[in-house]
Structure 1
Amino acid sequence: MKLKEDLNPVLLLLFQVTVWLYSVLAFLPSYLFSSVSESDAGLGSEQERAQRLKARSVTGHPAGPYRAMGATKRLVSSLHPGVDTLDKVFEDASRRFPDRDCLGTREVVMEEDERQSNGKFFKKVILGQYRWLSYAETHRAAACFGIGLAALGQRAHNNIAIFCETRAEWVIAAQACFMQNFPLVTLYSTLGGPAITHGLNETEVSHIITSRELLETRLKFILLEVPRLQHIIVVDDTPTEWPGYPRGISVHNMANVQGLRTKPENVCQGHKQPMPSDIAVIMYTSGSTGVPKGVMISHSNIIAGITGMAERIPNLGENDTYIGYLPLAHVLELSAELVCVAHGCRIGYSSPQTLADQSTKIKKGSKGDTSVLQPTLMAAVPEIMDRIYKNVMTKVEEMSSAQRTLFTLAYNYKLEQLSQGRSTPLCDKYASQLQYTHTLHIHTISITHTKPDTRLRHSSTRKCKHELTDLLPLPSPPSSLVFKKVRSLLGGKTRVLLSGGAPLSAATQRFINVCFCCPVGQGYGLTETCGAGTISEMWDYSTGRVGGPLICSEIKLKDWVEGGYHITDTPTPRGEILIGGPNVTMGYYKNEAKNQDFFVDENGQRWFCTGDIGEVHPDGCLKIIDRKKDLVKLQAGEYVSLGKVEAMLKNCPLIDNICAYANSDEMYVIGFVVPNQKHLLLLAEQYLIRGSWEELCDNAAMEEVVLQVITEAALSAQLERFEIPRKIRLSPDPWTPESGLVTEAFKLKRQQLKSKYQDDIERMYGGK
């Protein structure tokens, strides 16, 4: 042991010398390569990029409205002249890219139930290659399905619902509805029975498109509560006879409905082409509060939104491959896939359970979807990227001292180059070519930073570290040892990663930039704005910001006096964010009371009041700093932003998820915490606290230990004393969309969480 301790400083010095030599060798090609890219794109150091104008106030007033530099005279609302409805978008794509792969699905080679250590069985799959439909084939399939739906009695302007997982058939069905001018009602596949019933009855649908699994496990139990429903179309290859369903309801499979096109009486069904102002989608939000609301989205709204998004993705075209796995009932995924379709990209489908080699449903030794598809484009919510970050850093924390030093030096070297606007060609070349044998397993942990957005260091508070037995080879250039393996988690070819749905932490964004060798476009938008609002420029590596407005929209700020935010604040104007433009939707379906958040200005432009609080930086970029609904006034008069508290504490390695809660009649904040299992077990071992996982989470002593760690993390994050939770409840179960405690985008459902932990709230507030 003494010999090992003596060797560590020598190894550290050796590594530092190696990195210095490597930096010298890499500098010249790095300088040459990066200087070319900088002259072409007008880039430079991070400070110089942050000063480059992305948007400006068209009135000169600090409140705005702010427009992108490329749209200061007028907002852009269409991709191509004359392509003004979604059926035309797909028709145009199928004409330009008829033989190009469009929609891909992996074949299932084998399924088996694998016994777990706890005695339970979990389904594992081995998947084969992707099978593709070309653009021309997809267009024909959608046209046939649309005519078949019309043959079943579906009529133009009458709503039709889709309640289905993300898959190729979802897109085919949606395109069929766009062609026939059937407004498409989208419902999340994880919605509970009451929410599904509410959406179907409110929109008065007679036809619904679903999958066999959702029909048999969810939908059939509420059929009697949806009296207008007459036809259920199952997208799977399923039997044609469906006994046991209520009288008056017919069940069909997709292939049979497509086959109705060939019947003579259906051949002459007219093409009900929509107008740009017609409703394309009634999208039911996942609803972080109350029952889901249906947002009416016109064809022109969506086209304006995807026009703005497409402009922010450099070199978008038919050589790109997008991986679809987020819910298509969410505006982020639907918009992203429509952007890809409009540009001839191919879309391969996946799911969170089969995404990577280590995903829960992938049988050990077989390939996940990213390894086979090797996508170049990907969308993700911060929850998923935070998991990737923590997963990789788990292995870093478990490495030997030499390995950790190597990773840190490589990370810091590349981070420094990126901050100066330089690429790292030798580093990336080695990272893409060097092979080594080491498996990154999925766990959850994090590492700390010396200060936000700067260099990496290891936490000095960790007491339990484990050495790896399978050591990484050491003689190679540092970045090549880790970055290729990390990059391979997403297939190895990802060039753009779009993040939306919630704020992305600075640590995670830096990690993705460095280790995945690709930029992260952090965006901001809502269902009410077609997901479009702002997206950061791909060359802008600054963190904590969501970029400037898209060319289809503009933003302005409005005073929120109660919260203390004013457009006259210095050094930056602050206030509630308002988004205006052709991407702002038509309002809420049959919900006039909620439509007060929409208004039309004197120029006839629609605006939406988001309820989010932002500040506009001198370069025109927006930063989200608060949310009106998340602000609570404590008894002593202090305002606490619950979202801010949660965002700061989620970077703590011990926390997988957290919900801060405050009662205005009380003096302090409390919290519900989903702890990281590995870290909690290590902490319990350290403090000699025994018990099963559930018993540990119910243990008062364990709560106190975790609270101490959280308090230290909160102080390090510079939270005020009154913002730090004073009492907590540990939850043994994760919060998932299936549990109803978070939305599909993993936003907290505060009302549901409050109901679940009501007894604990009373306990933590002394029985009040």
Structure 2
Amino acid sequence: MQWREWLCSLGGGVGRSDLEDLRSVLPSFFPSLFGLGALASLTAYWLLTRPRSIRPPCDLRAQSVPVQGDASCRRSALLRDDNLLDFYYEDTKTAYEMFQRGLRIAGDRPCLGFRKPGEPYQWISYTEVTHRAQVLGSGLLAKGCQPNPKQFIGIFSQNRPEWVIAELACYTFSMAVVPLYDTLGLEAMVHILNLAEIPLVICDKMEKAESMLANKETGVTPALSCLVLFNPISAALVERGRNCGVEVLHLSQLMALGRDNLRAPIPPEPEDLAVVCFTSGTTGKPKGAMITHGNIASNTSSVIKILEGFFVIRQEDVSISYLPLAHMFERMIQVSMFVHGARVGFYQGDVSLLMDDIKALRPTFFPVVPRLLTRIYDKIQGSVTSPLRRAILHYAVKRKQAEVNSGIIRNNSLWDRLIFNKIQATLGGRLRFILTASAPISPAVLSFLRATLGCLIFEGYGQTECTAGCTFSMPGDFSAGHVGPPLPCAMVKLADIPDMSYYAKRGQGEICIRGPSVFQGYLKDEENTAQALDGDGWLHTGDVGQWLPNGTLRIIDRKKHIFKLSQGEYVAPEKIENIYMRSVPVLQVFVHGDSLQSCVVGIVVPDPEVFVDWARERGIVGSYEELCQNSDVKSAVLEDMVAMGKEAGLKSFEQVKDLYLHPEMFSVSNGLLTPTLKSKRVELRQVFREQIALMYSKVAV
């Protein structure tokens, strides 16, 4: 009866009749009470677990601000003033210090991963990587290399842990790295070895060492005196090297020499040269962009600054390394991982096995180029054949896109569980972050994948000469069709291009960059340096941009690859190609024109995954190769492309008047794309000179 006494004490004047009344209603009251309690519990659970919108770090309507009142020159809204960001952490002013920070965080935890076919990943710890780098660097010094930033060491290898260890070995003793890669070609390789006076090259395979020795034997690379290989070497290779004055060593031999002559680190300063990154170039000889440790620190720090409080790289995070380490994009991704003590797992070196590596590694961070995202998009779309499933997919995508547009990014919604989880599983099922750069990406593809993959997808823009990026998507802004505002390390301005009718006062012009991430110039090349860097330190990119009302930058054209038609009209082929790429049957396109012709023509590689079905829908049946030779199919493709051009506002003289369907993709291996997947226009013109001439002869008639 204690409860009666308690009720009486509460009311003071509660009598027996009141208690009897209460007792009479309790049977009906308790179910209601329990119902209210259950509802309250469910409400509390929903409040705690409901998907939350991302809170942007700034007003998304003003993501950049004018510099000194000049609307054509802008900097990040995340900065307090016009002083640009040099570094984020006080102890990370060089690439060497950034790795050392990761070492302090992670210690004996995994750093670099690799795998053999069919086996799980094996890992090398931060402690072991640091030790190996010091030993290898000591070995380099024992072979006569000097511990200063004027000492250039070549690395000629596919992505693998030893690449990173060799790079860190150079940084441990203030030496500079010169990456080399297969697609440079013989002439360009000789040019680089001689220009940088490289005495020692670290290779992965014997084939690459043999190509180095062939150059030495003909006397065209006199400075080369030592080759170090990751893979096993033969006695014949050692003898061949001895005969032409080149010492050939296995990595283990150099490591043994380093252990016997171990030296204390001689760390670099921020202003010291870290890497000479030779641009692959679409024309002419490659140019060596000189990148300092300060350049690397400011660029990496700016990405960290943008993501602070929103996306923090953790020790458990892992990135898949398959994009060429010879280029700055992949290197900056890795530095960002290392500074936080996170992991990097390397693919096996075979792109055809990349998806298998991804499933084994299950990365959380995935750096990509737009072409790969487009291929993923095409595969998803191509896998849905029935009208009902296609309708369900599109409805689910719209529901997820509505969430994305409201700032909610997740992979645990009803639609994820029912439809998208299989798609996400093909990329390991743990992705938190995707970064795309190096070329434009279709807004439709970007929006679609943000919904289906259930992770953050950011787009950046930049080039080697500004270390990597100069603009980056702002957290919380999931609109498409732009590359974000300037990074905190960069001021971006637009300069007039009168010949193309672009003017800064209209918010359009050549994109120019200034700040601590801008390179120091091209190695021993004053002429090209003067063309790239003006007297005020502005890097002229050759790309054409437009400021949008929200302070983000849109890439709209390209200045460098323009030509004038016979009637005096200027044409920017890359702009036209980017528009035609939206045509469903088109996978790749090369637009050509010159001053002797009044129109442009095109070489088109149809998309093999959709081309046959696309033609069948138009009543034309045949194999992929047969359809490429079918004049009716060509006319249908041309009609579709022209319609796409009209929709995008192309002028009549910008539309191709004829095209040739080519069944083989442009690729790095066949020499028609650079390693960053840009068209090599000189090579394309040469390869298709007969087809181009034939098309112009028909157009003239």
**Is TM-score (shorter-chain normalized) higher than 0.5?**
yes
Amino acid paired to 1:401: P
Where does the alignment leave 5 or more consecutive residues of structure 1 unmatched? 1-25, 44-48, 109-126, 355-359, 431-476
- 1:210 match: 203
Matches of 1:213 and 1:404, distance apart in 2? 50
Q: Is contact 1:409–1:478 with CA below 8 Å preserved after alignment?
A: no
1:190 to 175, 183, 190: 183
* 1:103-122 aligned within 5 A: 103-108=112-117
Matches of 2:551 and 2:446, distance apart in 1? 20
Q: Deviations over 1:432-471 (max 9, x none)?
A: xxxxxxxxxxxxxxxxxxxxxxxxxxxxxxxxxxxxxxxx
Deviation at 1:420, TM superposition (A): 3.2
Matches of 1:634 and 1:89, distance apart in 2? 51
Deviation at 1:79, TM superposition (A): 3.1
Matches of 2:47 and 2:696, distance apart in 1? 60
- 1:320 match: 317
Matches of 1:253 and 1:663, distance apart in 2? 51
Moved more, 154-163 or 231-240: 231-240
Matches of 1:261 and 1:139, distance apart in 2? 14
Deviation at 1:706, TM superposition (A): 2.8
2:458 to 504, 507, 521: 521
Q: Deviations over 1:351-373 (max 9, x none)?
A: 6745xxxxx347xxxx7121121
Q: Is contact 2:397–2:452 with CA below 8 Å preserved after alignment?
A: yes
Amino acid paired to 2:637: V
The 3-state SS of whatever aligns with 1:545 is coil
- 1:176 match: 169
Deviation at 1:261, TM superposition (A): 2.0
- 1:420 match: 406
Deviation at 1:401, TM superposition (A): 1.8
- 1:200 match: 193
Are residue 300 (structure 1) and residue 297 (structure 2) matched? no
Are residue 349 (structure 1) and residue 350 (structure 2) matched? no
- 2:443 match: 506
Q: Deviations over 1:324-360 (max 9, x none)?
A: 1100011100111011111111111116745xxxxx3
Are residue 585 (structure 1) and residue 519 (structure 2) matched? yes
The 3-state SS of whatever aligns with 1:534 is strand
Are residue 232 (structure 1) and residue 227 (structure 2) matched? yes
The 3-state SS of whatever aligns with 2:601 is strand
Deviation at 1:691, TM superposition (A): 7.3
Are residue 151 (structure 1) and residue 124 (structure 2) matched? no
- 1:19 match: none
Are residue 653 (structure 1) and residue 573 (structure 2) matched? no
The 3-state SS of whatever aligns with 2:108 is coil
The structure-2 alpha-carbon separation of the partners of 1:105 and 1:659, relative to structure 1 and needing over 3 Å to count, comes to same
2:471 to 534, 553, 559: 534
The 3-state SS of whatever aligns with 2:479 is coil
Deviation at 1:608, TM superposition (A): 0.6
Deviation at 1:66, TM superposition (A): 2.7
Q: Deviations over 1:659-703 (max 9, x none)?
A: 111223322221111112244434666778787755553454543
Matches of 1:653 and 1:484, distance apart in 2? 26
* 1:689-768 aligned within 5 A: 694=625, 696-766=627-697
The structure-2 alpha-carbon separation of the partners of 1:640 and 1:527, relative to structure 1 and needing over 3 Å to count, comes to same
- 1:336 match: 333
- 2:34 match: none
Q: Is contact 1:697–1:731 with CA below 8 Å preserved after alignment?
A: yes
Amino acid paired to 2:275: V
Q: Is contact 1:648–1:714 with CA below 8 Å preserved after alignment?
A: yes
Q: Is contact 1:500–1:523 with CA below 8 Å preserved after alignment?
A: yes
Q: Is contact 1:326–1:351 with CA below 8 Å preserved after alignment?
A: no
Matches of 2:534 and 2:187, distance apart in 1? 34
Q: Deviations over 1:497-544 (max 9, x none)?
A: 111101111011112210011122111111000012010113211111
The structure-2 alpha-carbon separation of the partners of 1:352 and 1:177, relative to structure 1 and needing over 3 Å to count, comes to closer
The 3-state SS of whatever aligns with 2:223 is coil
Amino acid paired to 1:131: Q
Matches of 1:30 and 1:630, distance apart in 2? 55
The 3-state SS of whatever aligns with 1:548 is coil
Deviation at 1:762, TM superposition (A): 1.4
Deviation at 1:486, TM superposition (A): 1.2
- 2:552 match: 621
The 3-state SS of whatever aligns with 1:549 is coil
* 1:383-398 aligned within 5 A: 383-396=371-384, 398=385
Q: Is contact 1:411–1:479 with CA below 8 Å preserved after alignment?
A: no
Deviation at 1:561, TM superposition (A): 1.1
Deviation at 1:417, TM superposition (A): 2.5
Matches of 1:35 and 1:329, distance apart in 2? 40
Matches of 1:408 and 1:712, distance apart in 2? 24
- 1:445 match: none
Are residue 280 (structure 1) and residue 277 (structure 2) matched? no
The structure-2 alpha-carbon separation of the partners of 1:81 and 1:756, relative to structure 1 and needing over 3 Å to count, comes to same
The 3-state SS of whatever aligns with 1:677 is coil
Are residue 610 (structure 1) and residue 576 (structure 2) matched? no
Are residue 429 (structure 1) and residue 412 (structure 2) matched? yes
Matches of 2:473 and 2:327, distance apart in 1? 21
- 2:23 match: none
Q: Is contact 1:189–1:214 with CA below 8 Å preserved after alignment?
A: no
Aligned-pair RMSD on alpha carbons? 2.7
Q: Is contact 2:545–2:556 with CA below 8 Å preserved after alignment?
A: yes
The structure-2 alpha-carbon separation of the partners of 1:386 and 1:684, relative to structure 1 and needing over 3 Å to count, comes to closer
Q: Is contact 1:614–1:623 with CA below 8 Å preserved after alignment?
A: yes
Matches of 1:27 and 1:497, distance apart in 2? 34
- 2:359 match: 371
Q: Is contact 2:158–2:204 with CA below 8 Å preserved after alignment?
A: yes
- 1:96 match: 105
The structure-2 alpha-carbon separation of the partners of 1:221 and 1:691, relative to structure 1 and needing over 3 Å to count, comes to farther
Matches of 2:271 and 2:254, distance apart in 1? 28
The structure-2 alpha-carbon separation of the partners of 1:315 and 1:361, relative to structure 1 and needing over 3 Å to count, comes to closer
Q: Is contact 1:308–1:532 with CA below 8 Å preserved after alignment?
A: no
Percent identity, aligned pairs only, is 31
Q: Is contact 2:113–2:123 with CA below 8 Å preserved after alignment?
A: yes
Matches of 1:403 and 1:690, distance apart in 2? 25
Deviation at 1:29, TM superposition (A): 9.1
Amino acid paired to 1:335: M
Matches of 2:474 and 2:676, distance apart in 1? 23
Answer with 1 or 2: which has the greater Rg: 2
How many residue pairs match? The answer is 649
Matches of 1:762 and 1:678, distance apart in 2? 30
Are residue 408 (structure 1) and residue 394 (structure 2) matched? yes
Q: Is contact 1:163–1:188 with CA below 8 Å preserved after alignment?
A: yes
The 3-state SS of whatever aligns with 2:469 is coil
Amino acid paired to 1:234: L
Amino acid paired to 1:485: K
Deviation at 1:169, TM superposition (A): 0.8
Q: Is contact 1:289–1:750 with CA below 8 Å preserved after alignment?
A: yes
Deviation at 1:42, TM superposition (A): 6.9
Deviation at 1:188, TM superposition (A): 2.3
Deviation at 1:609, TM superposition (A): 0.9
